[in-house]
């Protein structure tokens, strides 16, 4: 998994509350293999009308969002079903960080397993950044995971993230790598346990 330490990039304000996983990736695409390009159908039913034309009133279709790697969204982003493919669609579209006041729990768990940072920040702070971007669409945003800050022009805001998720992203660890990082602690525990409870250790018998 790719490490996430610091990112400076364009950001897309999509400040709609409760965007769920079915809106992120409609169910009819769940049978697609990831190699087919799930990123191309991100927000498909919100981005396009019944005739396949882009909806001009949907923020994601505006020039400010072209090439954005950071997404500013409303509260409760990613609620609904536990489809990991919703994270694939976001990541494969090129987005590496989603900033929201809150996330669906399962979505956030799936995100960290795939290298997508979910940064929790107060709604009013997100609105301030969005206001700066509205005045200057080419303005970049910097997300610093080591410092847990998000900065945009003269604004600098702290964000929250689960500390274990932070470690995984900083190191590019999947769940197996995370477990391996505790190898020495596990070995020390086993040694102490065998000394204090020798009767509990498995025994071998002669064939």
Residues whose CB falls within 8 Å of the CB of residue 126, separated by 6 or more in sequence, listed in order: 15, 72, 99, 100, 101
| Percent of the chain whose predicted confidence (pLDDT) is above 90 | 77
Q: What's the pLDDT tens digit per position in 68-112?
A: 999 999 999 999 988 999 999 999 999 999 999 999 999 999 999
Q: How confident is the model at residue 178 (pLDDT cuts 50, 70, 90)?
A: confident
The pLDDT, as a whole number, for residue 206 is 61
DSSP E strand boundaries for 47-94:
70-73
Give the mean pLDDT of 18-37: 96
Q: Which domains can be identified in the chain, with CATH numbers?
A: 6-173 (3.20.19.10)
Burial call 119-145: b when 16+ CB within 10 Å, e when fewer: bbbeeebbeebbebbeeebeebbbbeb
Over residues 123-138, mean pLDDT: 95
* Widest Cα–Cα separation across the chain: 79
Indicate whether 205 pLDDT > 70: no
């Amino acid at each position: 998994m790719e490490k996430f330490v610091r990112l400076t990039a364009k950001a897309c304000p999509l400040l709609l509350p409760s965007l769920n996983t079915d809106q992120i990736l409609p169910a009819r695409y769940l049978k697609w293999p990831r190699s087919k390009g799930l990123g191309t159908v991100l927000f498909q039913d919100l981005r396009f009308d019944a005739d396949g034309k882009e909806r001009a009133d949907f923020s994601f279709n505006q020039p400010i969002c072209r090439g954005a790697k950071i997404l500013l969204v409303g509260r409760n982003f990613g609620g609904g079903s536990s489809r990991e493919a919703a994270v694939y669609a976001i990541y494969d579209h090129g987005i590496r960080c989603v900033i929201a006041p809150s996330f669906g729990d399962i979505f956030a768990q799936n995100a960290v397993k795939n290298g997508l940072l979910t940064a929790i920040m107060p709604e009013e702070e997100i609105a301030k950044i969005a206001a700066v971007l509205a005045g200057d669409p080419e303005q970049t945003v910097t997300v610093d995971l080591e410092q847990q800050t998000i900065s945009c022009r003269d604004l600098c805001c702290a964000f929250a993230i689960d500390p274990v998720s932070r470690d995984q992203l900083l190191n590019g660890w999947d769940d197996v790598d995370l477990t391996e990082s505790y190898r020495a602690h596990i070995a020390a525990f086993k040694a102490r346990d065998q000394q204090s409870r020798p009767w509990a250790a498995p025994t071998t018998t002669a064939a």
